[in-house]
Amino acid sequence: SQQGEEDPQALSIQEGENATMNCSYKTSINNLQWYRQNSGRGLVHLILIRSNEREKHSGRLRVTLDTSKKSSSLLITASRAADTASYFCATDGEYGNKLVFGAGTILRVKS
Amino acid sequence: ETGVTQTPRHLVMGMTNKKSLKCEQHLGHNAMYWYKQSAKKPLELMFVYNFKEQTENNSVPSRFSPECPNSSHLFLHLHTLQPEDSALYLCASSQVAGGGDTQYFGPGTRLTVL
**Yes or no, beta carbons of A42 and B107 under 8 Å apart:** yes
Residue A40's pLDDT is 81
d(CA A65, CA A28): 12
Considering chain A, what is the average pLDDT of its residues?
91
- Per residue in B56-78, pLDDT (tens digit) is 888 999 999 999 999 999 999 99
pLDDT band for position A5 (cuts 50, 70, 90):
confident
Q: Calculate how close chain B gets to A97, using CA atoms only, in Å.
A: 5
Which one-letter amino acid corresponds to residue A59?
Answer: G
Chain A positions in Cβ-Cβ contact with residue B6 (cut-off 8 Å): 42
CA-based end-to-end distance of chain B: 31
Substitution target from A23, A51, A97 for chain B, most B beta carbons within 10 A: A97
Nearest to A42 among B99, B102, B106 (CB): B106
Residue A14's pLDDT is 97
B42 touches A: beta carbon within 8 Å = yes
**Yes or no, beta carbons of B42 and A102 under 8 Å apart:** yes
Residue A3's pLDDT is 61
Chain B positions in Cβ-Cβ contact with residue A48 (cut-off 8 Å): 100, 102
**Yes or no, beta carbons of B45 and A48 under 8 Å apart:** no
pLDDT band for position A6 (cuts 50, 70, 90):
confident
DSSP helix/strand/coil, B83: helix
Chunked in runs of 10, what are the mean pLDDT values of chain B (114 residues)?
92 93 97 92 91 91 96 96 96 85 94 95
The CA-atom distances, in angstroms, between A95 and each of A28, A32, A108, B2, B33 are 10, 13, 32, 26, 15
Q: Calculate how close chain B gets to A58, using CA atoms only, in Å.
A: 15
- Per residue in A27-57, pLDDT (tens digit) is 888 899 999 999 888 999 999 999 999 999 9
B60 touches A: beta carbon within 8 Å = no
SS (H, E, C) A36-101: EECCCCCEEEEEEEECCCCEEEECCEEEEEECCCCEEEEEECCCCHHHCEEEEEEEEECCEEEEEE
Residue of A92 and A81 predicted with greater confidence: A81
Task: Identify whether the C-beta of residue A107 lies closer than 8 Å to the C-beta of residue A19.
Answer: yes
Residue B99's pLDDT is 64
Cα–Cα–Cα angle for B54, A32, B51, rounded to 5 degrees: 20
Task: Identify whether the C-beta of residue B47 lies closer than 8 Å to the C-beta of residue B53.
Answer: no
pLDDT band for position A95 (cuts 50, 70, 90):
low
Chain A positions in Cβ-Cβ contact with residue B56 (cut-off 8 Å): 98
Tell me which residue of A7, A8, A9, A14 sits closest to A81, measured CA to CA. A14
Residue B96's pLDDT is 84
Residue of B40 and A80 predicted with greater confidence: A80
pLDDT band for position A1 (cuts 50, 70, 90):
very low
Nearest to B103 among A45, A96, A100 (CB): A45
d(CA A60, CA B8): 34
Residue A94's pLDDT is 61
Query: Can you tell me the mean pLDDT for A64-91?
Result: 96
